[in-house]
Amino acid sequence: MIGVFDSGFGGLTKLSAFIDELPEYDYIYLGDNARAPYGDHSKGIITEYTRQGVRFLFDKGANLVILACNTASSNALRTLQEEEIRGPQVKDRNILGVIFPIAEEVARLKAKRIGLIGTRATVESGVYREEISKGLKDFELTQKACPLLVPLIEQGWVNRPETMEILESYLEEVKAANPEILVPGCTHYSILQDEIEEIMGPEVKVLETGKIVARSLRDYLGRHPEIESRLGKNGRRKFYCTDSPEEFKKIGETFFGHGIEQVELAKLG
């Protein structure tokens, strides 16, 4: 199975993109909604929470775990790759994040002025700048932490005027830098894709990060038959959360864009 881990609901947008691109595989999703959002926690706490989630997914039979959460990817991925997938006994599994494929796409587009919005932890990690610089040497990156967006989205306030005012306020500084590309550096922001595009205007390319990561996953599986061959291909979907499965199912379907038959409770830590 392919495991998808997120701090809550946002990773369901990535899972939806994976299923659109690679529908034949079995997927298992874990949203740590009891402890969301991760964005205002310290690196140590984010790493520990993510470690627990990754181990849960491996224990449930995942061979490949995707950290759909930008905050987890920017703060915990490297540590967990060192801890959880090194050694001869784990050659057939891996942990991947979402930041590298997005940064790779930014570099491929050769933009000179880049905007980024994300959680405080993602912005402060500096990982996007580091990863983009591996493929693009001459660029300006304007970053903006948007701590209020995740809780507003998860509370269903997407279409409220208050949310639009906050979003416009956050984007004002980024837009003033006249970027050619904007990176929505949080899984939740896909829910606001149309609103972000409207505010930024037609001259700014707002990346559709789900599609980018899904294409990267297809490429990865093609290059790693030792993992791909072990993945189930029965089109099965399993969902876990850490608090209130009924509420998770209801809210999660908005992010997922499809029906969710059942959500089971996961105990971490």
Question: What is the set of active-site residues?
Answer: 69, 186
- CA 43 to CA 75: how far, in whole Å? 6
- Render the burial of 80-97: b for 16+ CB within 10 Å, e for the rest: beeebbeeeeeeebbbbb
HSE-up (13 A, CA, CB side) for residue 203:
7
As given in the structure block, the two tokens for residue 246 are 């009924």
DSSP string, 67-86: E--HHHHHHHHHHHHHHHS-
* Peptide linkage before 37 cis (omega within 30 of 0): yes
Give the Cα separation of 207 and 165 in Å (integer): 22
Q: Which helix (H) or strand (E) holds 115?
A: strand 113-118
119: how many CB neighbours lie within 10 A of its CB?
Answer: 29
In degrees, rounded to 5, the angle at the alpha carbon of residue 153 between the alpha carbons of residues 203 and 60 is 110
Token pair in block for residue 18 = 């994976």
Name the token pair of 258. 């499809």
CA angle 143, 149, 154 (to 5 degrees): 145
